[in-house]
Amino acid sequence: MKQALELKKVSKKYEGFLLDQIDIELPRGCIMGLIGENGAGKSTTIKLILDLISRDNGTIMVLGGDNLENLKAIKENIGVVLDESCFPENLNLWDINRIMKNIYLTWNEKLFWDYTTRFALPSDKKTVKEYSHGMKMKLAIAIALSHDSKLLLLDEATSGLDPVARDEILDVFREFIQDEERSILLSSHITSDLEKICDYITFLHKGKVVFSEQKDDLLEKYGVLKCSAEEFAKIDSSAVKGCRMNEFGVQALVEKQKMNNSYVIDRAGLEDIMLYHIKEK
Amino acid sequence: MKGLLIKDLINLKKQGMIIGVLIVFYAVLGFWTHDSSMMGAVMAVLAAMMPITSMAYDEKAKWDKYALSMPVSRRDIVLGKYLLGILFSAVVFIVNIAFNLIVNNGESLKEIALLSGALSGLALVYMALVMPVLFRFGVEKGRLLMMMLLFGATGLIVYFSTNSESLPSAQTLNLAAKLSPSIVIAVLLTSFLLSSKIYEKREL
């Protein structure tokens, strides 16, 4: 089994929204970033993987098993952080440790206390109610890492954290992925974070996969071209992925290979690639 | 499963204070008036309310979808709530027997056990009736239906007790007492299967 996660032609229809036949493959040992605007289908995809909502079509394989068949056992090896804190407010760290010890067979108490110390979570009787948003996120991440997780599903896990904390969390993810059996799927708006750690990027837009490729290939493939409107008119339009025109000229995302060398092409960041892809040509 | 129950119990502990005050109040009242019926009824209502309260907490925290990301099945979640209800009904059963023995108005142990059993049984049946509704609509939306169910049941009891020609004979009562445990179990089981089926399809 090479893929940690395999979605094939997965669809889900809601009133006013369609997740349309999406295909995603996350190889073992890799980190995949899921990008897209609000409402593009990122959370829906993660919910479908966990079977929190029923899908209309397609198959989903998680860690080699069909997610409709033996999900309970598979979930022992999944760590999940959802986009909102879901802890009952009356619990403190000790309570949570006691509960998780009785839920996960592979719960690692020592690891849990290590992470909570590292994340500076209050080990006194402070309850979740008194936690800040960032602390709740850190708590969820600590739990996701404190059992035998082979796959992390993180829905906006780093949003709401300050840059220093985000960097700290990214380091934790890098450590986690040292073991080649492990993989991470994380959705985020913060493309700079994804650019730092992801191997693969999947871009969802209005319920469709726009692309799902290796990050390095993407960054290699595209560039930002700045030129005048006259120059732009001469360019092979198949090379242009999207453009932005103003009175000073044109900025366009282009495929570098299809361009000849007479143009100056800047490096395209993930954010450029994402924004230009959804701009009409 | 055990983890889910522990979570519910810890979560409900916060209500312990209020419940404690309630129990002490009605216990004192019971001693004073040498009448244990109020205490029994309050205890039964508390038992029936506990799983519902815990579901309200879960709903507020959006716990269910998080719990389902752990090695927990939907059936476990449903079963957990029923077990919680059964646990509280059992505790109430024991407390009611003990309280009646202390207040003692000359009833026999058998009478006391029968009365306490009936109260816990009622709590269980009420739980069995509301649970499928709550698993379908959630506590917030299901509240109205729950109330209607409660009033409907009260109305029926009042109707039958005022309109029946005579009191049922001792023989009928005896038979009812013998049959009711199996009826309660059957109702609970049906309710559990129905809730499981409903919850299996719930989108979270």
Listed residue (B91, B67, B54) closest to A102, CA to CA: B67
**Better pLDDT: B106 or A148:** A148
Query: Cβ contact (<8 Å) for A99 and B65?
Result: no
pLDDT at A171: 94
> Cβ of A95 under 8 Å from any chain B Cβ?
yes
Query: Cβ contact (<8 Å) for B203 and A53?
Result: yes
Query: Cβ contact (<8 Å) for A103 and B14?
Result: no
Query: Cβ contact (<8 Å) for A103 and B3?
Result: yes
CB contacts, 8 Å: B83 with chain A = none
pLDDT at A137: 92
pLDDT at B164: 65
pLDDT at A176: 94
pLDDT at A108: 96
The closest CB to that of A99, out of B6, B61, B73, belongs to: B6
Listed residue (A91, A67, A79, A86) closest to A8, CA to CA: A67
Report the amino acid identity of residue A107: W
Residue ranges of the alpha helices (H) in chain A?
42-49, 71-74, 93-101, 109-118, 133-145, 163-176, 191-197, 215-221, 229-234, 270-278
**Which pLDDT band holds residue B166 (cuts at 50, 70, 90)?**
low
Strands A65-66 and A57-62: antiparallel
Q: The domain A3-206 is classified under which CATH number: 3.30.420.240, 3.40.50.300, 3.40.50.12280, 3.40.50.1000?
A: 3.40.50.300
End-to-end CA distance of chain B: 19
pLDDT at B167: 64
Between A200-209, B100-109, B110-119, the lowest mean confidence (pLDDT) is in: B100-109
| DSSP secondary structure string for all residues of A109-151 | HHHHHHHHHHTT---SS--GGG--HHHHHHHHHHHHHSS--SE
Q: For the packed helices A109-118 and A93-101, what is the interaxial angle rounded to 10 degrees?
A: 150
Nearest CA of chain A to the CA of B73: how many Å? 6
Alpha carbon distance A222, A265 (integer Å): 9
Q: Which residues of chain A have pLDDT under 50?
A: 281
CB contacts, 8 Å: A53 with chain B = 203-204
Nearest CA of chain A to the CA of B6: how many Å? 6
Structure tokens at B105: 């108005």
Query: Cβ contact (<8 Å) for A52 and B3?
Result: no
CB contacts, 8 Å: A44 with chain B = none
Q: Are A20 and A55 in contact (CB under 8 A)?
A: no
Q: For A106-162, how does the pLDDT look when each residue is reduced to its tens digit (9 = 90+)?
A: 999 999 999 999 999 998 889 999 998 889 999 999 999 999 999 999 998 888 888
B21-B42-A91 Cα angle (round to 5)? 55
The closest CB to that of A75, out of B58, B69, B201, belongs to: B69
Alpha carbon distance B28, A200 (integer Å): 68
CB contacts, 8 Å: B14 with chain A = 90
Strands A151-155 and A183-187: parallel
Q: Are B38 and B26 in contact (CB under 8 A)?
A: yes
The closest CB to that of A102, out of B6, B73, B203, belongs to: B6
> What would the mean pLDDT of B177-197 be, rounded to a whole number?
92
pLDDT at B148: 84
Alpha carbon distance B19, B106 (integer Å): 28
Q: For B72-81, how does the pLDDT look when each residue is reduced to its tens digit (9 = 90+)?
A: 999 999 999 9
pLDDT at B45: 87
Alpha carbon distance B132, B144 (integer Å): 14
Residue B168 has pLDDT above 70, yes or no: no
Residues written for chain A: 281
Query: Cβ contact (<8 Å) for B71 and A86?
Result: no
pLDDT at B39: 85
Query: Highest mean pLDDT range out of A181-185, B18-22, B172-176?
Result: A181-185
> What would the mean pLDDT of B151-172 be, rounded to a whole number?
75
> What would the mean pLDDT of B89-116 be, rounded to a whole number?
87
Alpha carbon distance A40, A174 (integer Å): 27
Q: Are B4 and B84 in contact (CB under 8 A)?
A: no
pLDDT at A232: 84
